Structure formats: C-alpha cells, structure tokens
Chains A and B, each alone.
Chain A
Amino acid sequence: MSEDHEQLEADAIRTAMKSRLTRRGFLRTAGVGVAGGIALPSLLAACGGGGTSGKKVWDPAEIFSGQPGKTLNFANWPLYIDKARDKNGKVYYPSLTKFTDATGIAVNYTIPITDNPDFFAKIQPMLMPGKPTGYDIIVMSNGWEFWCLVQKEWVYPLDTSKRPTFDQNAADWAKDPQFDPGAQHSMAYQWGLTSICVNHDLISAPITKLDDLMDTEKLPSASVGMLKDDMPDFVMRNLGIDTVNSTPADWKEAAAWLMKQRESGVVRGYYSQGYTDEVTAGNLAVSMAWSGDIIYYAIWEGMSNLEMLMLDGGCVRWVDNMMIPAHAANPVGALELMDWYYRPDIATGLQEWVMYMSPVPATQDGFLADAKAAEAKGWKGYASKLYASAKSEYIFPSPEFLDQQVSWMRQLKTDDEKAEWDSIFEPVSR
C-alpha cells in the first residue's frame, strides 16, 4: 500500500516538473503544484493516511531462529555501563568486551538516549513505515513510550525459551513485571528510585516533607531542581494519591502544586539529564534525583555533603528495560547479549560501576565477595566503598522499604489519556 501512494506522489511530482518546461511555464506549474498538493491528501487519505503500517504479528520462534550476526548495535543512556581503562589508557567496556570474547559478536555501543520521549520521537519516523531503526537493543524505561512500542508491535516479542541465564538469575518481579507480563517484550537492565537529593552545605534546615520543596525560607531562590518526566508521579505520591490508579482530577491537583512551586521562585530548572552537573557544581541545594547518580557521588567520589533521602510521602520507582526494536538486523545476537547481563559476575560488574539497582539479586553477594577480595589485596578504601554500597537502601532496597515507601508510576494507555496528561502537566515546565 505504501508503494502505491509513493508511486502516485512521484507521478504527481514528475507531472509538475514537466509542465514547468513550457513557455506558459511558471505560474501555471505553480498552480499544478498547488493542485497536486491538494490532490495528494485525498489520495493519501484514501490509502489510510500513510502514517501507520499495518499490524503485523511477529513470531518469536521465527525471529530468533538461526545464527546470530557478527555485529550488534546497542543504544543506551549515558553513564550506564561499566567502563575501564586498558594498559594503554584506552577506555573500554568490560561487560561488552567479555561478551565479544565469549561469543565473537562485536558490539557497537552508542549513547543516544537522554530521555524516553526524545528517543522515542527519534525512532518513531522509522518505526512507523516499518523501517529498521539501526539499533538491535534499546533501553527504555517503563511508561508511555514502552507501552506504545509494545502495543504497536514496534519491538519484537522475545523467544522466552532462549534466555536460560535470565530464567535462572532474575528476580521474581523481573520475570513478570506489571508493565510487561511474562517479560515477553523486555528484560530489565537496571532499575532505580526517583527521590530527593540534598546538598547539606547549601540547606539550612532539614527537608522532610513535600511542601519543604517550595519553602522560600528554607531554600534560596532558584536552588531546586525538578525532573520533568518523574515529577507528576512523585508529587502525586507525596500528596497521598495512589499513583497507579490516579485520575485526571488527581493529576490536576499535582499540577496545581507544581505551579505553586514554580511561582514561589525556588525552582532553577526542569531537567531530564544534566541536573547532576548542577548538583555537583553547587547550583542546586535540593533536587529530584535518580538514586544511582547521587549514590555514586556520595559514596564513590566522597562528596559526603550530598545525601539521597526520602520525603515523608515516599518516592517512585522505575525500571529501564532492554528491548529489541522491530526490523533489527541481529535479533538473535541481541537476545544473547540481553541474557548475558543476567550472569551474576557481569551483573555485579555493571552494577558496581553504574550504582543503580540490579534485577539480579545475586549481585549483593557479588559486592560483598568483591569487597572481601579488595580487603585481602589491601585496597581498604575501595573495599569500604563496596561495603557501604552493599548496605545502602538505595542500591539494595529491602522489600519492606519498597512496599511502604515506593510506588510505581501511572501507566497511560490511550492517546486521549496521554493528551490529557500532557495538557495538564506540560504548562508547568514551559
């Protein structure tokens, strides 16, 4: 169908160009062009708008049969993989290098993802007409974009019989997350919490409840950072609303709070990435933050003035998942790499660098084992940091902690819901 209207459009263009060559030329051809422009929509509308490709049903057994290709394109978020330097000082990624050594598949690692809506809008023009995105693995957080990718069949359903390491080592929730039953379309990469971080050097009084975040007496002006995509759910949770079942009325309540906060003048900016620089530069006294970012600076860079904390109202959680976009060149290899990250040693190595939460529970033992090994080698500082990390609630939260203090975010399921959500929350950050 898409070839038909491409052909029609090409014909229209060719006609327009030919008629320009006559002496009566230009204005008439301009007229043809305009007429063509008006005729085109009706032609294209008749063919269904040219926007959506038809719903296809992917057969995982078929997609994941055969041998993996020789290269893999892995798109990820920045600072989200283990890094090391080799003897020559060159940077490499241990988990990927070990994978290549074990399987012979080379991994081309890129970091184009800075936030979910951004990246989704980037691949949307390719997924819509059924073209390859150029990536074999992408990492998307649970939420609207994840939902769209699954609903539109823009990611391959995984062959659940081909991920033994996952079956063996994944946490129970990771095998059947609420946003992806049976983990049919995704495998968790890392997960984390969105809560508050404070810079003790810059605040004068403790920050304990939601309203403290717009308290102009406790906070200097333009010293608070908010995370654009997470703040609606975070605020709702702290207002006592059940985020998962929230209604538009609840959303309006949260938006009203946020507007009040904006008007109080304490907000420096609404971020997706880039808030960590502002935090470490001392521009933000208080900020909404992702657990791993702050824990890393607090424990590993020794910035003890930074602390990750929980407000009285709790916080929200999210999971970043590996998925295989439709028409990927090397789905078999992609699934192998996804499964690779569930090996306890690899998962530990990754988590030790990234400092988020792992879907592999065995990593906690991995941390302790590495800490002991470091102690034995005399690396006291490194060992103590590993111990501290193994004990942190923000890296290995207990189930009670999660139950009492942490919510999932609201899952939007239709275009209309999304439009309403956006119309309520977007004016806050613009």
Chain B
Amino acid sequence: MRRHGLADLPDALGLNGHACWGFDEVGDLSTAAAAFLSEGSELGQRLMFVGGPEAEAMVRETDPMRTLVRDGTLQVTPFEAVYPGGRRMANADQLSMYAGATDQAVADGFTGLRVLAEVTALVSPHGEWQDQVAWESYADRYMAHRPLAALCCFDRQRLPVEAMAALGCAHPVADRRLQPMAPFRIYALPDAVALAGEVDALSASRLSDLLELTIPDTEGKVVLDLAGLEFIDHSGVRVVARHGRRMRERGSQLTLRGESVMFRRLSDLLGAET
C-alpha cells in the first residue's frame, strides 16, 4: 500500500512516494525538502533536484541540501536544462526521461531515484494546471510500481487557488496546508487507481474535473479502488457514476472495488440514472 493522505512533512513516503507541496517563499521549502531527501538517502535512492533558479539557490545554500550537493549526493538540474524555454514535454516523453533516469539509478546500484521538483514555471504564467494534473497522474501510474519518488513543489503565490487544490488532489500525499481545498486524492496503485479521502458537495465538482484529467475516458479498462474513501456524499457518488458512464460511452470501462456499504447504498438509492 502506498502512503496516502495529508501530511505535515513529506517523510516516510517510501520508494514509490509522490507528494505535492506548496510554498509561499522558497525558504519555506527547506524543511520539507530536507525531510524528503534524507529519507531518500536512508532508502538508498539516487537524489536529484529539478527546479527554477530561486529553488536552486535555496538548495545550494541551505543545509542539509548544500552538503548533499557538495558531496555529489544530490544532483542539481536547472529547470531550463530539462524544460528548455519552459516548455512542457509530451507526457510520454517526460516519463521516458524519468523512467530512463530511474533505470540508470538502479543499474548504478541505487534502490531507485528520488526527485525534488520545483516546477511552478510549467504551470504559471500560462495557467495550464490541467496539463500538469494530467501529467502528475500519468507519472504516478509509473511510480506506483517502480522505485521513483518525487516531491512536487509549487509556489502558491503564483498559482490560482484551484490549480494548487487540483494538484494536491492528484498526488497520493499532499501538504496538510492544502486542506480543505484538497480533501480527496486520486493516485495509482499497482493494479488500480485509488480515490481516497473525503468528497462532499463542496468538492464534488473538483472530483469531476480530476477524474476527467486523471482517468481519460478513452483509457480502456480501469479499476477505481474506493477503499480509502472516508466519506462521500451523494453528489460525489453521482460524479463517480457519471464518469463511469462517460467512459462506457467511449468504449472504456470503469470498475469499482472496495466501495463502502454506504457508497453502494447511496448508489442504489439514487438509481441507475444517479
């Protein structure tokens, strides 16, 4: 089982950890980054940083990151080097880059790869958070079964509130300060996509957006695991049912598993049309 939920610190994530973190000033990030990287060292993962100039400066100047950079443990890759001109790569290309680096880390004797990423610039200034959400979820499918861990950090001051919320919802672990905007999470299990946390009338439309971005209706057969769902109201049940219907219409199939007695009850009460 992958760790999931809201967290005070992105620690204890495991080899497959994937967390979303927000910051107001880049200096705020150092505690989270330190916790994330030191777990990686303990687990024997290769450490890598990708991010903008301000975050890079923070990493180079703040301990323990500074020491890790100096002794060559933490490899620093400027944002521009990975994303020339701030351009987003196609998801498949971006993933093959990270998958290649993960394989290389394993080949070099590491247990895997751990990436500290500050990629606000991929989302801002154009505000293409939907693409980033789709990417996070796409990468998460890979991470669920390969030893790649990532801490994805975003400057909250430069992103619209809904972007930050949606990004938080698209990671198995999210910064607790994103609550109540990100009360649920959609993330990958080795054999399924999980929906966990809480969904109510205030978050149902966000769930609808997130399902569309993370489980495209052309994806084919997908199992949605609801075992980690702590609460869902009828508007949330309707959203899940609607997405299943949309997928069916496109020749795909969404199968639910692990749903609670109450989920089934609400589903039955609302009827086939829900």
A and B interact: no
B: which residues have CB within 8 A of A? none
